[in-house]
Amino acid sequence: MRLKYQRTQCRAGSLRAPQRVFSLRRPRLRLHASQPSSSSPSTASLISVRDDPLDLPATELVSVAEPTTIDPTMPKAPSVAFSSPVSHPSFFIIGLTVYSMVAMDVFYPDGLHLLQPVDQAIHQAVLENIDPALRRQLFGNVVSNVWSLASSVGWIFATATALSRRNPLAWQSCALGWALWIFGVGPIEHDPALMEALKDGFGRARPSPVHRTASFPSGHTACAVLLVGALLFVLLPVVYGSKPGKGGGGSGGVSRGDGEEGEAAVVGSGGGAGGKGSHPIFDAIYSVQFSWGLWAASALTTIVGRVGVDAHWLSDTLAGAALSVALVSGLASATERLAGGAAGGGDGGKNALRGD
C-alpha cells in the first residue's frame, strides 16, 4: 500500500481555521496533514508523507480535529478591570467614623450631645407646622420611599441584564449587593438582621409612635443610600461598562485593559455601548454612573421624608446614611478585588469573564 505525495496551499484568512485530518483507505488514498507554515504568517502548507508503510486497518479513522469556533452573536462581558471612586478605604473609614460619632454623641453619657438640641427643635417644628395627614401621605409614603423604589427598579433591571450575559464578575457583584440588601439594611417593611440588631442594641424611642420598632439608626435612610449608591457606583458600571473615554482606572468604571481602542462594552443582548448608534437608554445609564449629585439627593430627600413624617430624629437619619456609605464602599472594594483576581489570571481570567 502506498501513499501519494501532494503539496497545496491555502489562505490563513479563510473562514475555517487549518485542521489536521488523517484518513486512510485501501488501496489508493492520500494522507493529508495541514500545519501552519513557519515561513509565512499568511499561508499554510498541506503536507503528506509518501511511501511510508502504515500498519493500520483499512477502515480506521486515525483522528479528526475540528476547529474551535465562537458564536459571534453571544454577548461578551464588558471587561476584566473595574474601578470605582468609592472603593477607596477612606470612604469606608469615614462612613464608620461618622456613624460612631453620632452614636457616641447621642448615647454616651459624658458626650457633648450636640445633636440632641437639634433633634428636639426639628421635632417641635414638625408637630407645630405640618398637618398629620400631610405628614403621613406626603412625607411618609412619597418622600421617604421614592428613591428606594426607583433604585430598586434599577437593581432588578441591572441584575436581569447581568444574568442574560456571560459575565461572572457582574454575577458576583449583584449577588453581594442583594446579600447586603436582604441581610443588611434593605427591606422597608421589616428590618433585616443587621438593622434589627443595631436598633435593638441602642433601643432609642421614636419621636412619634409611627412604628413599634426602635429609632436608631434610620432603616429607610440606610436603605435608600445603599440602593442608590450601589446602583450608581457598582452595579451599573460593572454590568454595562463605561462609555468610551469615561471609564477605566482613572475616573472609575470598567475597562478592557487589553489595548483594544474604541471598543465599548456590549450591552444586554447586543446593544451598543456608547459611540455610534447607541441607544438613548444606554446613554442615560452612562450619564448617571458615578453621580455624586444623585447620591446626595437621595440621602437628603429620604432624610427630609423621615424627619417630616416624625418617624425619626435627625441624628437617626445621619447615622443610617453614614452606615450605608461604608457598606457601599465595602461592596465596591470587594467587586474591585474580584475583578483584579480575574484579571490577574492573564488570558485565563479574561476568557473566564467572556465565557470562552
**Residue 229 grid coordinates:** 449608591
Outline where DSSP puts E strands in 102-245: none
All three cell numbers of 160, joined, read 436581569
Quick: pLDDT tens for 70-95: 455 544 544 447 788 998 999 999 99
pLDDT at 174 over 60: yes
* pLDDT higher at 33 or 303: 303
% residues pLDDT > 90 (the chain)? 34
Which residue type sits at 128? E
Is the confidence at residue 306, as pLDDT, over 90? yes
Name the range with the highest mean pLDDT among 33-47, 159-173, 315-329.
315-329
pLDDT value of residue 111: 80
Kindly give, in sequence order, each residue whose CB lies less than 8 Å from that of residue 120, ignoring residues fewer than 6 positions away: none
Task: Report residue 8's pLDDT band, with 50, 70 and 90 as the boundaries.
Answer: very low
Model confidence at 341, in pLDDT bands (50, 70, 90)?
low
Annotated domain spans of the chain: 1-69, 81-354
Of the CA atoms within 13 Å of residue 129, those in its CB half-sphere come to: 8
Please tell me the pTM assigned to this model: 0.67
- What is the DSSP code (8-state) at residue 267? B
pLDDT of residue 223: 92
Using the predicted structure, report yes or no on whether residue 312 has a pLDDT greater than 60: yes
All cell numbers assigned to 294: 444623585
Nearest to 135 by CA among 308, 306, 304: 308
Q: Are 353 and 80 in contact (CB under 8 A)?
A: yes
Cell (9 digits) for 39: 515561513
Tens of pLDDT along 22-39?
Answer: 444 444 444 444 444 444
